[in-house]
Structure 1
Amino acid sequence: MFPDGTGPSANPAGDRHERRIRSFQPRRSRVTAAQRDALLRLWPEWGVEIDGDRRLDLDELFDTLPPGSPVVLEIGFGMGEATVRMAADDPATGILAADVHTPGQGNLLGQAEREGLSNVRVANGDAIILLREMLDPGSLAGIRVFFPDPWPKKRHHKRRIIQPEFVELAASRLRPGGLLHCATDWEPYAEQMLQVLTDCPALENTQPDGGFAPRPDFRPLTRFERQGLDKGHVVRDLLFRRLP
């Protein structure tokens, strides 16, 4: 689909680093002309292949920000509308947005360029490989996992990203005080998330009652979320802080 070296790879890590059941499938269909143009032009500068072969220097990656600027990892950004809004509202924070949806990658890059944002980078591939192989412990100010696939059938629960092993890994990449922020509109998954996050000894719930959090102002209300609310869905936010 893309000339060599100018766009995201279909499977950047290959089979070198990961043999677990994956919770995603790369999707490259229905890329519009505008999305393709953004990928061809901007991927070499703003794109990151999650190949698992190197450690990222976040100061170098976000070279448009002052050294030591906070960086937040967003796992799964859809078409990127909320990512762009969060980046625009907080230009001093770098957002490393990871997904495998090629149209969404192109859409996010194009929107970021149109908004004149310099604090967004797009990562292509498996976020677990990114966390484990490419990010240093304590390097992130936050991790966001908004509306991950709930895999509602019981036999598919093992595919859910919020599992004890993932949460332990994610917590290790947060700096002290960093936030792990999850959101879902699937109530059974919300309950599982709350239990798994509560059980992680490296994290503490920001809510004194140990429950769900109100939606913080910095998380935009997306079109997808608004549609769910119109259908009577209950959206749950979970905000857990990395302990010293």
Structure 2
Amino acid sequence: MTTVDRPLRIVRTYHPRRGRLSGRHFDALERLAERYAFVPGEPVDVLEIGSGMGEATAQMAAADPGRRYLAVEVHTPGVANLLALIERQRLTNLRVAAVDAIELLREEIPAASLAAVHVFFPDPWPKSRHHKRRLIVPERVALLRERLRPGGLLHCATDDAGYAQAMLETLDADPGLTNRFGGFAPRPDHRPVTKFELRAVRAGRPAFDLMYERSEAEGPA
């Protein structure tokens, strides 16, 4: 039984939505899902949680061919679009997993194995009663940190100012992470600007980047 076959034992950090598939997206899923799917046991250097439609992920993987990327996304059209991008750009260092990221981290990603984790524009769950569903909360940050190798990077970005401040406080409080910039990070050139981010900026919601290194050297907690 696979991770997606079992009932989830955790609070979901995403809206489970399928979305409507266009003809080309349906074709991409039919032809490419097995070819570019993550196989448990495969080595991963960079994990991206919530790759959206995949344009930024494909661009980063193409610019960084020496590292192996894994994109985790549960929105079916986004998965399909990324599969098509992988084929079109002939990317050999990018795989896709359409599963819950927390389950995958717990069960399939070894401790101290990742060079980087990207969490770009996760659901902010703005209502107070839903804050427990946020990805960047202490217990999930501890899991992310444990999967990073010493010196590995946790890079988050959000356009929600309230969530940005909560992220900063949560990440600063983790004893095994060190803030590279002592606060919010300058926007790095290697993180592509997505259509989603452009819409947010035009609406007056600039992005906040946070970059933290796993600082402990003695191994996984």
User: What TM bracket, shorter-length normalisation?
Assistant: over 0.9
AA partner of residue 188 (structure 2): P
Distance 1:178 1:34 in 2: 37
Does 181-190 or 229-238 show the bigger shift? 229-238
1:28–1:102 CA contact under 8 A, matched in 2: yes
Measure the CA separation in 2 of the matches of 1:236 and 1:29. Answer: 28
Q: 1:147 is matched by which residue type in structure 2? A: F
Partner of 1:43: 33
Give the corresponding residue for 2:87: 113
Match status 1:158 vs 2:132: yes
The answer for unaligned runs of 5 or more in structure 2 is: none
Q: TM-score, normalised by structure 1?
A: 0.84
CA contact (8 A) 1:48 1:124 kept: no
CA distance in 2, matches of 1:23, 1:170: 14
Q: Which amino acid is the alignment partner of residue 122 of structure 2?
A: P
Amino acid aligned to 1:174: L
Does the alignment pair 1:191 with 2:165? yes
| Count of residue pairs brought into register by the alignment | 215
Distance 1:32 1:216 in 2: 33
1:12 pairs with 2:13: no
Residue 28 (structure 1) shift: 2.2
1:150: how far off?
0.6
- Aligned residue runs from structure 1 range 43-62, under 5 A: 43-48=33-38, 56-59=40-43
1:51-130 equivalences under 5 Å are: 56-59=40-43, 71-130=45-104
Following the alignment from structure 2 to structure 1, what is the Cα–Cα distance between the partners of residues 160 and 184? Answer: 13
CA distance in 2, matches of 1:14, 1:237: 34
Name which of 183, 194, 197 aligns with 1:222: 194
Q: Decide whether the 8 Å contact of 2:38 with 2:70 is kept in 1.
A: no
For residue 46 of structure 1, give the secondary structure of its aligned residue in structure 2. coil
Given the alignment, which residue of 147, 150, 162 partners 2:121? 147
Is 1:169 paired with 2:140?
no
AA aligned to 1:235 is A
Find the residue that maps to 1:47 and give its secondary structure: coil
Give the TM-score normalised by the residue count of structure 2.
Answer: 0.92
Opposite residue 64 of structure 2, the aligned amino acid is D
Shift of 1:217: 1.0
SS in 1 for 2:19: coil
- Deviation, structure 1 residue 48: 3.3
Please tell me whether the aligned partners of residues 149 and 160 of structure 1 are also in contact (alpha carbons under 8 angstroms): yes
Query: Deviation digits for residues 101-154 of structure 1, max 9, x if unmatched?
Result: 111001000011101111110011110011111110011110000000111111
CA–CA separation in structure 1 for the residues paired with 2:93 and 2:29: 17
SS at 2:13 equivalent: coil
Give yes or no for the alignment of 1:21 onto 2:11.
Answer: yes
Question: Percent of pairs identical after alignment?
Answer: 52
* Counterpart code for 1:242: R
Cα shift at 1:93: 1.3
